[in-house]
Structure 1
Amino acid sequence: MQVRNTPDRFGVVTIGIHWLVTVAVFGLFGLGYWMVDLSYYDDWYRRGPDIHRSIGILLLMVMLLRLVWRFVNPVPRPLPDHSRFEVLASRGAHLTLYLLAFVAMVSGYLISTADGSSIKVFDWFEVPSVTGQIKRMEDTAGLVHYWSTWALVVLAGVHGLAAIKHHFIDHDDTLRRMLGTDRRRR
């Protein structure tokens, strides 16, 4: 398998980043959903948010790398049997997924740094606050984070269902290209 994308196939870097981001987004959503109900005396009360923040910062770094990679390594052209609507819907969905992911990560960062403190990333390094202390910023950022993560997960789910539809109903190579498997014999 090639490292870079070709006009017809995704390369191993694009595929790897896609699935890493997928697992991280759904994992962070699940962890966030679970940890909001933890009590102060629960062992995970501090550990859960620390893991959530650390993975969130690492995901932000991966997403920045993904953006750079996308600009220097364009995506394959659409499959010839995709309608104009499918192509435009795909581009719009991808753009919205990127936008929601960055809004979710930046708002999460702002929640955690609203009091001027930095974020420790697995005790490897710290990301400082760039805002200092801003009153009620964590409330506003919290609302943005809540709704952007829900929108991200719902749209990612629709995106996944669309790939499954292409695979099982349309019988095209849409999903195969992102799995890096051989093309369907025609």
Structure 2
Amino acid sequence: MDRYTKPAILLHWLIALLIIAAFLLGLVMTDIPGLTPTKLKYYSWHKWLGISVLALAAIRLLWRLKQQPPALPVSMTQGQKKAAEAGHWFLYILMFAVPISGYLYTTAAGVPVVYLGLFQIPSLFEASPALKEALKPVHYWLNMLLAAVVIGHVLAALKHQFIDKDGLLKRMLP
């Protein structure tokens, strides 16, 4: 069976780890009451993870558009193949939508985004309390949707590994 290229595999697992870290950190930081130094530090880390996901997702998308992925197993039905392709493209959309919504939410809150403490990401607009309140649930629900799609992606990979035993997972393992 064909495998993904090494850059695709590296980007896949790196982005996956960053998404999981950003999601878990987001859950932890929003549960910290008040405005503490720890909470502020976690918010900064969360933003750094989001920007990193966005940048790596852009690289991954460019790579994906240049490199055809390996063929899916012949044992998969056309419906399964279409669902797999749709799921992958939905993941790409969410890998962009979640960090962009977070950036817009932060900008609307009037909080600068300083990547890795080194340089500030320019704000596209002035702070807006009304926009901040509108974007907060957008960012939250996009994250929940991303979590659900990631879980579905993992469950599908495990199904292929342990039930179908078609070697699909091996294409993406390092």
CA offset digits 1:153-184 (Å, max 9, x no partner) = 1110111011011001111111000104xxxx
TM-score, scaled relative to structure 2: 0.93
By how many angstroms is 1:100 displaced? 1.9
Identity across matched positions, percent: 32
On the 8 A contact 1:116/1:131 being kept in 2, the answer is no
Point out the more displaced range, 124-133 or 24-33. Answer: 124-133
Given the alignment of the two structures, is residue 141 of structure 1 paired with residue 132 of structure 2, yes or no? no
Q: Is the 2:19–2:49 contact (alpha carbons within 8 Å) kept by the matching residues of 1?
A: no
Among residues 83, 101, 113, which one is paired with 1:89 in the alignment?
A: 83
Q: Deviation at 1:72?
A: 1.2
Supply the distance in 2 between the matched residues of 1:16 and 1:81 (Cα, whole angstroms): 27
Q: Is 1:64 matched with 2:58?
A: yes
Q: What TM-score, normalized by structure 1, do the two folds share? A: 0.88
SS of the residue corresponding to residue 4 of structure 2 reads coil
CA contact (8 A) 1:121 1:127 kept: yes
Distance 2:36 2:119 in 1: 26
Matched residues, number: 174
Write 1 or 2 for the structure with the bigger share of helix.
2
What's the counterpart of residue 21 of structure 1?
15
In the alignment, the residues of structure 2 paired with residue 96 and residue 159 of structure 1 have an alpha-carbon distance, to the nearest angstrom, of 11
Task: Determine if the alignment matches structure 1 residue 47 to structure 2 residue 59.
Answer: no
Gaps of 5+ in 1: 1-6, 181-186
Cα RMSD of the aligned pairs, angstroms, is 1.6
Amino acid at match of 2:11: I
Query: Which residue, out of 27, 34, 59, partners 1:33?
Result: 27
Greater alpha carbon shift after TM alignment, 154-163 vs 72-81: 72-81
Q: Which has the higher contact order (CA 8 A, sep 6+)?
A: 2
The unaligned stretches of length 5 or more in structure 2 are none
Residues 60 and 97 (structure 1 numbering): CA distance in 2 closer, same or farther, change over 3 Å?
A: same
- Deviation for aligned residue 1:39: 2.2
